[in-house]
Amino acid sequence: MEKLLFYMKISDLSQKSGVSRYSIHHYLRLGLLPEPQRKNKTMAYYGQEHLERLLWIKRFRDQGVSLYVIQQMLSQNMNPTDLGHEAARLPAVRQGGKNKAIKKKQLIETASKVFSEKGYHRTSISDITDQLGIGKSTFYLYFKNKKDLFFICIDSIFDHLWKEDFERIREEKNFALKLALRGEAFIRVYPRIRDILQMMRGALGGKEDGMATKYNEIYAKLVRPVKRDLQKGMEQGLIRQGDPDLLAYILVGMAEALAYRIHLDDKYSINDAMALMRQYRLLR
């Protein structure tokens, strides 16, 4: 690489190129972009060559060319600035792409992971297809749009969100601590779960088939383990007798409101929320 003037942060590069920061990092990992000039572990600067390369990649990606094919083009030292000449060869190159027969299951699994990490609104179709090295045209063979895929992924997204907390909660024997761990896990993942709940609530007033049923299923998934814990607590005399189903819905609703407030700004932390929940616990 010739001597380069590094003057852009990744946010500047993303804005100028129209490529998300998530995709830029992915392209760097694949070796599709030159290494930036790193000031330290968390700060790097990019130059004109990075911008030109991104625009080149973006034009091919918009035509449905997979990242695998783009990698092959770069490995053959094709000139990234000679777009017109190489674009004429795309149909032949694309026919040989090894990702042409990608399965629907792979898209769902990858999308579930990306949605759970970034949320619905911050995830683009390119974020998903880039992970698999396929073009957008392949995506549209299986799904109408991002929303169509999102609703198929909802169950998998929920499972992925709670995965890191499952063992810790399952092994906790103390009733009060188990409920506290559930509340802490819910508050932590709330920024990612909020997209799901808001979208489904908004769709309830529309005409989408099965949306009310799916929303009820998702909310029941949140409530079910809390209800189960409450039932055990009542059986053991650790909590006042009452209707565990109704109480579980109340507690989940309170946790959602609390999580919303915590993530609204920096005034409160999860620790503040947990202390308040312990202060107003329903234990005898």
Four-point Cα dihedral 104, 106, 108, 114, nearest 10: -150
Other CB atoms closer than 10 Å to residue 91's CB: what's the count?
Answer: 8
| Residue 134, CB-side half-sphere exposure with 13 Å CA sphere | 21
Q: Which residues contact 251 (CB under 8 A, 6 or more apart)?
A: 179, 226, 230
Structural contact between residues 181 and 169, judged by C-beta atoms closer than 8 angstroms: yes
How far is residue 188 from each of residues 204, 224, 257, 264, measured CA to CA in Å? 26, 19, 13, 13
Domain ranges of the chain: 1-97, 172-279
* CA–centroid distance for 76 within its chain: 34
* Distance of alpha carbon 164 from alpha carbon 97, whole angstroms: 36
Model's pTM, two decimal places? 0.54
Structural contact between residues 146 and 125, judged by C-beta atoms closer than 8 angstroms: yes
Res 219: pLDDT: 85
**Length reported for the chain:** 284
* Distance of alpha carbon 25 from alpha carbon 22, whole angstroms: 5
1-97 in CATH: which number? 1.10.1660.10
Give kind and range of the element (H or E) at residue 8: strand 6-8
Closest by CA to 219, choosing from 233, 205, 198, 241, is: 198
Q: Is 105 helix (H, G, I), strand (E, B) or coil?
A: helix
Output the tens digit of pLDDT for each of the chain's 284 residues: 444 577 889 989 999 998 888 889 888 888 889 889 888 877 889 999 999 999 988 888 777 777 777 877 777 665 544 444 444 444 444 444 444 444 688 888 888 888 877 877 888 898 898 888 777 777 888 888 888 888 888 877 777 777 778 888 888 888 878 888 888 888 888 887 787 777 777 666 555 556 667 778 888 888 999 999 999 889 988 888 999 999 999 989 988 898 899 888 889 887 887 777 667 654 44
Structural contact between residues 11 and 26, judged by C-beta atoms closer than 8 angstroms: no
Res 103: pLDDT: 62
Tokens coding 58: 């973006």
Res 247: pLDDT: 92
